[in-house]
A and B are shown apart, each in its own frame.
Chain A
Amino acid sequence: MKSTRKIVLLGLMAAAALIFSYLEALLPPLVAGLPGIKMGLPNIVIIVTLYMFGVKEAAAVSLVRLLLSSFMFGNLVTLTYSLAGAVLSLTVMAFLKKLDAFSQVGVSVAGGVTHNIGQILVAVLILQTPQIAYYLLVLTVSGTVAGLLIGLAGSYVLKYLSRVLP
């Protein structure tokens, strides 16, 4: 792919991911009383970038999205947690994609669950409270369901994009 074209497309991906972050920040909590449950909408874009371009490009889009969204609608403390989740999740997704045993849906499910694991690990380390890890049981259920929906959405987007973008 020509580099100008690639830069433009990756810029569009970062912008789309940022808009999804904004949308998600506007949404009320999905499950009352159980905070931290999210759809992970920006991961649609990360999955699409991972399959259309590759790991390096997906990491770049993810990092740009994280930095901008933390500055715009978050804060520096939450950036640490998001970063841990994003790094672990992308590493696992890239590995599973290479393994070639799962479709985009399975890869996305693993991404959703490991995103939560990364965040909880950092929370346990920073707050020195191991009991927080129990919350992973709740977040694994929600991460699996969210990852399934995001993976389905991502695979549809990929199907259409591969037709539109030769």
Chain B
Amino acid sequence: MNDSKIGAAKGSGKGKRRNDLILILVLLILSGTLFLVRTLSRPSGKMVVVHVDGETQGTYPLETDVRVEIPSGEQGDHLNVLVIRDGKASMEQADCPDLICVQHAPISLEDDTIVCLPNKVVVSIE
């Protein structure tokens, strides 16, 4: 069905630019709509679950303010600090090189995650 369109576009600059535009619009509309639907339809979570290297290390209620130190690494020599405050969880501190987890906005909705790739720490809301 699409073959004729693609075939017609072959080698022609205009057709290619039209295909570019279709690709861009499809990607933006599809992911944008799904993102909005998901964000608007998701309930707030109740628990904060901490995984290190695929294993559950602890579960904390979202309503209680707390500061949790999460050791990781083979010798437990790496550290992330999780903070739960005002019903939101965020990574306050980390010793990873990129600090991407610390830059992440506080999370509170179901299935939200904060990931620290270098330390293999995942904080998710359930």
On chain A, the residues within 8 Å of B40 by CB distance are none
Q: Are B115 and A123 in contact (CB under 8 A)?
A: yes
For residue A138, CB closer than 8 A to chain B, the reply is yes
Docked Cα-Cα span, A39 to B100, in Å, equals: 16
- Which one of A32, A78, A144 lies within 8 Å of B117 (CB-CB)? A78
Q: Which of B26-59 contact A (CB under 8 A)?
A: 27-28, 30-32, 34-35, 38, 51, 53-54
Q: Are B124 and A144 in contact (CB under 8 A)?
A: no
> Among A13-21, A58-66, A105-113, which stretch is in contact with chain B?
A105-113
B92-121 vs A, CB cutoff 8 Å, 1 = contact: the mask equals: 000001101101110000011101011010
For residue A75, CB closer than 8 A to chain B, the reply is yes
Q: Which of B1-39 contact A (CB under 8 A)?
A: 6, 9-11, 13, 15-17, 19-20, 23-24, 27-28, 30-32, 34-35, 38
CB pairs A–B below 8 angstroms (28 shown):
A29-B103, A33-B103, A33-B105, A36-B100, A74-B98, A75-B97, A78-B117, A101-B9, A101-B19, A102-B16, A106-B23, A109-B23, A123-B115, A126-B120, A127-B51, A127-B54, A127-B115, A128-B51, A128-B54, A129-B51, A129-B115, A129-B122, A131-B112, A131-B113, A136-B31, A137-B34, A138-B31, A141-B35
Query: A-side interface residues toward B, CB under 8 Å?
Result: 29, 32-36, 74-75, 77-78, 81, 99-103, 105-106, 109-110, 113, 123, 126-129, 131-132, 134-138, 140-141, 144-145, 148, 151
CB within 8 Å for A106 and B20 given contacts A134-B38, A137-B31, A140-B27: yes
On chain A, the residues within 8 Å of B13 by CB distance are 103
The smallest C-beta distance from B72 to any residue of chain A, in angstroms, reads 12
Q: Are B23 and A102 in contact (CB under 8 A)?
A: yes
Q: Are A134 and B27 in contact (CB under 8 A)?
A: no
On chain A, the residues within 8 Å of B24 by CB distance are 106, 109, 144, 148
On chain A, the residues within 8 Å of B51 by CB distance are 127-129
The smallest C-beta distance from B26 to any residue of chain A, in angstroms, reads 9
The smallest C-beta distance from A130 to any residue of chain B, in angstroms, reads 9
Q: Are A35 and B100 in contact (CB under 8 A)?
A: yes
Q: Are B115 and A113 in contact (CB under 8 A)?
A: no
Residue of chain A at shortest CB distance from B22:
A106
Q: Are B35 and A138 in contact (CB under 8 A)?
A: yes
The smallest C-beta distance from A34 to any residue of chain B, in angstroms, reads 7
Residue of chain B at shortest CB distance from A107:
B20
Docked Cα-Cα span, A32 to B100, in Å, equals: 11
CB within 8 Å for A135 and B113 given contacts A103-B16, A127-B51, A128-B54: yes
The smallest C-beta distance from A89 to any residue of chain B, in angstroms, reads 14
The smallest C-beta distance from B89 to any residue of chain A, in angstroms, reads 13
Docked Cα-Cα span, A159 to B101, in Å, equals: 40
